[in-house]
Amino acid sequence: MTFARDSYRTVVVGAGIVGLFTAYHLARAGGGPILVVDRGFLSSGASGRNGGGVRQQWETRGTVRLARESVQAYRRFGLEFGFNIWFRQSGYLFLAENEGELARLRNVHALVASEGLPSKVLDGDGIAQLIEGIAPGAAVGGTYLESDGLLYPFPALWGVYEAVRSLGVEVALGVEAHGVEVRDGKVAGLLTSKGPVATSTVVNAAGGWSGDLSRRSGLEVPNVATRHEILATEALKPFLDPMVVRVSDGLYFSQSMRGEVIGGLTLPHRPGTSRGQGSSPAFLTTMARALVGLVPRLGSVGVLRAWSGFYDDTPDGFPVIGEDPRLPGFVHGNGFGGHGFMLAPATSRRIALAALGQPTDLDPAQFSPRRFLAPTPVATVERLQLG
Residue pLDDT, tens place only, 157-204:
999 999 999 999 999 999 999 999 999 999 999 999 999 999 999 999
For residues 241 and 374, what is the distance between their CA atoms, to the nearest angstrom?
44
Fold of the domain built from segment(s) 7-49+154-223+315-372: FAD/NAD(P)-binding domain (3.50.50)
Please determine, for residue 379, whether its predicted confidence score (pLDDT) is greater than 80. Answer: no
At 386 the pLDDT is 63
For residues 150 and 153, what is the distance between their CA atoms, to the nearest angstrom?
9
Please determine, for residue 130, whether its predicted confidence score (pLDDT) is greater than 80. Answer: yes
Strand, helix or coil for residue 212: helix
At 111 the pLDDT is 97
Query: Span 280-285, mean pLDDT?
Result: 93
For residues 387 and 252, the answer to whether their CB atoms sit within 8 Å is yes
For residues 67 and 13, what is the distance between their CA atoms, to the nearest angstrom?
23
What are the tens digits of pLDDT across the range 308-340? 999 999 999 999 999 999 999 999 999 999 999
Q: Where are the domains of the chain?
A: 7-49+154-223+315-372, 90-147+225-311
At 254 the pLDDT is 98
Q: What is the identity of the amino acid at 39?
A: R
Determine what percent of the chain is predicted with pLDDT higher than 90.
91
Quote the Cα angle for 152-300-46, to 5°. Answer: 25
At 199 the pLDDT is 98
Query: Span 373-378, mean pLDDT?
Result: 76
At 15 the pLDDT is 98
For residues 367 and 320, what is the distance between their CA atoms, to the nearest angstrom?
5
At 48 the pLDDT is 92
Q: 90-147+225-311, superfamily in CATH?
A: D-Amino Acid Oxidase, subunit A, domain 2 (3.30.9.10)
Nearest to 90 by CA among 145, 134, 143: 145
Please determine, for residue 387, whether its predicted confidence score (pLDDT) is greater than 70. Answer: no
Average pLDDT of the chain, as a whole number: 95
For residues 244 and 255, what is the distance between their CA atoms, to the nearest angstrom?
10
Please determine, for residue 274, whether its predicted confidence score (pLDDT) is greater than 80. Answer: no
At 376 the pLDDT is 74
For residues 91 and 224, what is the distance between their CA atoms, to the nearest angstrom?
30
What are the tens digits of pLDDT across the range 225-268? 999 999 999 999 999 999 999 999 999 999 999 999 999 998 88
Please determine, for residue 279, whether its predicted confidence score (pLDDT) is greater than 90. Answer: no
E-strand stretches of 265-343:
303-313, 320-323, 330-334
Residue 337 φ/ψ, nearest 5 degrees: 60, -130
Residue 104 φ/ψ, nearest 5 degrees: -65, -45
At 5 the pLDDT is 96
For residues 169 and 364, what is the distance between their CA atoms, to the nearest angstrom?
29
What are the tens digits of pLDDT across the range 58-98? 999 999 999 999 999 999 999 999 999 999 999 999 999 99
Please determine, for residue 1, whether its predicted confidence score (pLDDT) is greater than 70. Answer: no
At 378 the pLDDT is 65
Instruction: List CB contacts of 286: < 8 A, sequence separation 6 or more.
Output: 265, 267
Q: What is the identity of the amino acid at 59?
A: E
